[in-house]
Amino acid sequence: MRILITGVCGFVGSALAESFFERVEGVHVVGMDNMIRPGAETNRIRMERMGVELIHGDLRSASDMAGLPACDWVIDAAANPSVLAGLSGAGGSRRLFEHNLGAFGNVLEYCREQSAGLLLLSSSRVYSIPALASIPLRELNHAFAIDPVTPLPPGLTVSGIGEGFSTAAPISLYGATKLASEIMALEYGATFDFPVWITRCGVLAGAGQFGTAAQGIFAFWVNAHLRRRNIRYIGFNGSGCQARDAFHPRDLAALLLAQMRTSRREGQRIYTAGGGPANTMSLAQLTAWCDQRFGPHAPAIDPEPRMFDIPWMVMDSAAANRDFNWQIEMPVTAILDGIAQHATLHPDWLEVSHA
Ligand SMILES: NC(=O)c1ccc[n+]([C@@H]2O[C@H](COP(=O)([O-])OP(=O)(O)OC[C@H]3O[C@@H](n4cnc5c(N)ncnc54)[C@H](O)[C@@H]3O)[C@@H](O)[C@H]2O)c1
């Protein structure tokens, strides 16, 4: 099996490569990265030593793409993954468009030319922000949780958000690049007859993730807490009750492998995957976990709401479980433990990540 991983020096791409070498005998991994993410360079040597055929190239460049060897599958893990991407002015929105959507056109062309299957790492951010903001919630143990007595909107159960939840705009510029990529991927796959699988991932987290306040929140929070840096509860009355589920890319790798191995060509192509209710934590609960591990460090309060922020996001992976017998194995405490160990061993991680 030959797999091309775009963004192979990023957090998810590098973890997937590692997982495939462990799980798939004789796998050949080709990796491409332009190292634009601060910290990506730190994964270069590790990837090469592991056996990745690493190509320093940019997906935006058709000539860089033309130099790629043939592969059976492409996993697209190259993108600017921040929901706040494109808001900075000074060409930020154009850059987001070029990296996340324009470049994806080149990936699709590669799949067409090589007859390679495509696994698109989409995002929970394709879901409608007003619909997410209207989910009936209550406060439970310093975290927002679904209010089960209220009727729930389509696509939402007490287990979380599923594929049927609204994707109506606004969904953020980042979310829109992913939703547009999904549509283009399905259309290319149907027109040129190559398999396409789309996974709308919730928050992915783990040791070695590049964390900033805008993206990679679990890694950022643990690193910043450990070093007594400024951490803030933004919006939601400064409660820190905003909650997310988290899962590790190793668990995602198992789902992607199941998708690559199935011979099914019909039926559902889009899946929602994430940590689920058991792997959900609020910022206040994450702070309590860090307090216990590193000693107390209180976040500042900034009650002013931030654009695109939502109080609660938990993924319902029931369809992935039903169709691929998939479920996560790594509990959130193990994910946090890994991040904490890594943070202790890498005192400059926030600088590496340009946090
Ligand atoms: N991290 C999450 O919580 C999360 C959640 C849902 C979906 N995703 C998706 O998973 C994928 C990987 O996310 P991540 O957290 O590993 O991000 P990351 O920033 O750690 O990795 C992305 C990698 O892609 C590279 N890259 C970006 N633009 C490129 C281009 N034009 N050409 C070549 N390389 C390029 C970067 O240098 C970086 O190494 C993204 O598509 C993201 O949207 C991530």
Q: How far is the CA of 89 from the centre of ligand 1 (A)?
A: 21
13 lines ligand 1 (CB under 6 A): yes
Q: According to the model, what pLDDT value does residue 3 have?
A: 98
Structure tokens given for 354:
């340009």
Structure tokens given for 276:
């689920």
Q: According to the model, what pLDDT value does residue 88 have?
A: 83
**Ligand 1: which residue has its CA nearest to atom 43?**
81
**Distance separating alpha carbons of residues 218 and 46, to the nearest angstrom:** 23
Residue 307 CA to chain centroid, in angstroms?
19
Q: How far is the CA of 76 from the centre of ligand 1 (A)?
A: 8
Residue ranges, the chain, pLDDT below 50: none
Q: How far is the CA of 6 from the centre of ligand 1 (A)?
A: 8
CA nearest to 211, candidates 221, 202, 203: 221
36 lines ligand 1 (CB under 6 A): yes
Q: How far is the CA of 42 from the centre of ligand 1 (A)?
A: 15
Cross-strand bridge partners of residue 6: 32, 76
Which residues are CB-neighbours of 322 under 8 A, at least 6 positions away?
none
60 lines ligand 1 (CB under 6 A): yes
Q: How far is the CA of 28 from the centre of ligand 1 (A)?
A: 21
Q: According to the model, what pLDDT value does residue 336 have?
A: 98
How much is the pTM?
A: 0.97
> Tokens 């997410």 — which residue?
132
Q: What is the DSSP letter of 163?
A: T
Closest ligand 1 atom, CA of 76? 41
- How do 143-146 and 137-140 pair as beta strands? antiparallel
Q: According to the model, what pLDDT value does residue 150 have?
A: 81
Q: Which residue type, as a one-letter code, is found at position 224?
A: A
201 lines ligand 1 (CB under 6 A): yes
Q: What Å distances lie between residue 301 and 142, 216, 288, CA to CA?
A: 15, 20, 16
Q: According to the model, what pLDDT value does residue 132 have?
A: 97
**Distance separating alpha carbons of residues 247 and 336, to the nearest angstrom:** 11
Q: According to the model, what pLDDT value does residue 89 have?
A: 76
CA nearest to 40, candidates 82, 15, 81, 7: 7
Q: Where are the beta strands (DSSP E) in 124-165?
A: 137-140, 143-146, 156-157, 160-161
203 lines ligand 1 (CB under 6 A): yes
